[in-house]
A and B are shown apart, each in its own frame.
Chain A
């Protein structure tokens, strides 16, 4: 049995459709007090785009040229987005935790 990494276009559409439905359902129920952490969290995960840059860097011919540099900058900036976003979310959520009263 062959495991393929590729999607046929119709599979892709199914995925997108289901994701939209799940995404809307999940996010609609988030209370207002969590909107800011939700935003910065989703901001961080949109940095998943670095996977595209990683794929590019892995696929190219070994020659080190302008494209390599641009991809590298892309991955670097994307990683800053990801880690920064998660750290910010973490900082915010830490404040929401119930604290001991002194």
Chain B
């Protein structure tokens, strides 16, 4: 019967591998997700089946307990995932990611205090590591969750110092949990390690600013993957190792892509956040701001042949994606081409804007990435910047002192006219003045993105 478990894992691995391949194709992604679910079910059933076949004082009560937990968990997970609006996806992802971390930490904790097995030194290291990483991923993800929900905005003073301090304390308690010593007994030490790792996660995540959120989320995601691998090594369980590595790879690759898109090094984002806002403020220049109104925008729109829309996090906040869709349809009816240009780090998680636009039924053929988008912008007559700021900031190209210098941007200035829909002249996340606002061909339309777009749509309809 051990055969049952092994073959179950084999099938499960095949489902997962195929599912991951399918997830990379927009047309097949739904099937891919179904395959992943199938793989997960197969893996759990084979684990149960394998254990049942061992026959060692098999405990039916425990099986019932596990089944009950699985059912309750599935129902609760479904409820949580449907109780959030689709636009709040980044929050949900980090919430669930935190749950994964907590689960790993708790399992590691229990394994540390088994009475029936003598733990080797290396097992102890693995378990303590998963305890540390699990708890810090949990608290880090919770912080990310609250930050994305807008409940937590400002970084605390001395955040970096606290981060290093808690990391150091975690290291010390890690060692003292490993080595029985006279100062502190193992149980207390492990408990302290848990507390310090929790606070380390808080400071780690809190040091990361809103604009770097996509990186933080992919890093946390990758961490749970590594965590799963580590636990898999302890449990000598192939499928845990395999999937852990898959998830870890996702996290690492997305992190690298995000960092590249921002031209920022990983270290800079996580350990050097305090500096950047301050040193640029001194050099703010007067910008020549021109205001515009919906009437003149509509006049320009009727003449335009090619229109580009650059969305950002502000679009998500204003929930203006449906208005974008209406505007696009209306303009398409006038034979005007409308394309959306999306910067890789626009929004608060990798691919955030794509999900948002997909929700509003905008086909992905109309969505361009950075390179194609810039080519398109060079030919377009009008460009809307809606709720995006740093990703169109030309100081990334021109000002060597700028903290975002060298970041590839969406070159909105290539378009004949640029209309920036924004509520105020405030700076973006990186807190740098945006020279694009003062360019000769750009004008500002100060309003809420949704209200603004809707009034443009209504006036356009009246024409």
Contacts and interface: CB of A to CB of B under 8 A. Distances in A.
Contacts of B39: 45
Contact of B36 (A23, A54, A79, A86): A86
B324 interface: no
A56 B62 CA distance: 10
Contacts of A58: 48, 51, 58-59, 62-63, 66
B267 interface: no
B354 interface: yes
A84 B80 contact: yes
Given A45-B246, A88-B89, A34 B73 contact: no
B77 A81 contact: yes
Contacts of B352: 36
Contacts of B363: 98
Interface in A19-33: 19-20, 22-24, 26-33
Given A43-B224, A83-B77, A54 B66 contact: yes
B40 interface: yes
B301 interface: no
Contacts of A42: 221, 225, 246-247, 250-251
Given A26-B20, A46-B243, A84 B254 contact: no
A46 B223 CA distance: 10
B93 A43 contact: yes
Given A49-B228, A88-B81, A36 B253 contact: no
B47 A51 contact: yes
Given A12-B241, A45-B16, A82 B107 contact: no
Contacts of A88: 81, 89, 92-93, 96
A88 to B, nearest CB: 5
A39 B29 contact: no
B33 A90 contact: yes
Interface in B3-35: 3, 5-6, 16-17, 19-21, 23-26, 29-30, 32-33
A72 B246 CA distance: 26
B351 interface: yes
The main secondary structure of chain B at its interface with chain A is helix
Interface in B57-73: 57-59, 61-63, 65-66, 69-70, 72-73
B249 A27 contact: yes
Contacts of A54: 44, 47-48, 51, 66
B405 interface: no
A94 B201 CA distance: 34
A15 B238 CA distance: 8
A50 B66 CA distance: 10
A75 B364 contact: no
A19 B246 contact: yes
B26 A34 contact: yes
Interface in A79-100: 79-99
Given A41-B23, A58-B59, A82-B77, A32 B344 contact: yes
B24 A31 contact: yes
18 contacts: A5-B5, A7-B238, A24-B253, A36-B89, A39-B93, A46-B221, A47-B40, A48-B43, A52-B240, A53-B110, A57-B62, A74-B110, A75-B73, A79-B76, A81-B103, A84-B78, A93-B30, A95-B86
